[in-house]
């Protein structure tokens, strides 16, 4: 019952935007020139996609913590989820600064990711951890791509994305070290395909 309430609380906080970062938002060392309208729009769209990614991260970790029976593993999922809450709050703040809005479909993304997290969790801890490894690696690559696409002068978004990328790599390593099992190729492809649908949609909606 407690665990269910925690999961419900996470969902409500994520979707209402009531998130508080434990760590300060990464900031660039130097002051950047203001962005022009085209750059601001592009940065807003890319950061909306990243915000959706973090909404999904909340749902995945929440569902996986709910289904895992190993207390040590639940603690690991919770620790990673705290980093994801920072990411969520940072991207949300950056969206506001860019004058962009979060995805209108966030409840849908959350629900879908939660269902996938439950499935991964039900498949057992080794698969669940393997799913974390694969997800975090794919996110890391995705963020690398965004560092190439974000406007050169958007130092504020870049600082956030660069820090997130470091954190996701650490989450993947930790899940691998905890016994994450390599996922079969068709599952990895399906995850990539789902991520492509999500990123393409969230760019606009
Ligand atoms: Fe994240
Ligand atoms: Fe992560």
Rounded Cα distance between 31 and 148, Å, is 20
3-state secondary structure 101-127: CCCCCHHHHHHHHHHHHHHHHHCCHHH
pTM equals: 0.91
Asked if the model's pLDDT at residue 1 lies above 80, the reply is no
pLDDT (tens digit, 9 = 90+) per residue, 119-156? 999 988 899 999 999 999 999 999 999 999 999 999 99
Per-residue pLDDT, averaged over 22-44, amounts to: 91
The ligand that comes nearest to the alpha carbon of residue 168 is 2
Q: List CB-based neighbours of ion ligand 2 within 5 Å.
A: 136, 168, 171
Dist. CA 31 → ligand 2 center (Å): 28
Q: List CB-based neighbours of ion ligand 1 within 5 Å.
A: 57, 84, 87
pLDDT (tens digit, 9 = 90+) per residue, 44-66? 999 999 999 999 999 999 999 88
Q: What is the percent of the chain with per-residue pLDDT over 70, rounded to a whole number? A: 100
């Amino acid at each position: 019952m407690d665990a269910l309430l925690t999961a419900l609380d996470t969902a409500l906080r994520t979707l209402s935007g009531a998130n508080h970062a434990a760590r300060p938002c990464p900031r660039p060392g130097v002051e950047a020139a203001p962005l022009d309208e085209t750059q601001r729009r592009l940065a807003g769209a890319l950061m909306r996609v990243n915000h959706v990614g973090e909404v999904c991260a909340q749902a995945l970790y929440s569902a996986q913590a709910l289904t895992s029976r190993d207390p040590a593993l639940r603690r690991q999922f919770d620790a990673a989820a705290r980093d994801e809450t920072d990411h969520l709050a940072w991207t949300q703040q950056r969206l506001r600064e860019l004058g962009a809005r979060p995805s209108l479909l966030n409840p849908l993304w959350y629900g879908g990711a939660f269902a996938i997290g439950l499935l991964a969790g039900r498949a057992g801890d080794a698969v669940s951890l393997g799913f974390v490894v694969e997800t975090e690696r794919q996110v890391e690559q995705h963020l690398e791509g965004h560092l190439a696409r974000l406007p050169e002068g958007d130092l504020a978004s870049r600082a956030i994305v660069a820090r997130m990328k470091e954190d996701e790599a650490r989450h993947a390593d930790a899940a691998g070290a905890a016994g994450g099992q390599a996922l079969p190729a068709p599952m990895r492809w399906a995850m990539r395909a789902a991520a492509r649908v999500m990123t393409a949609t969230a760019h606009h909606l």
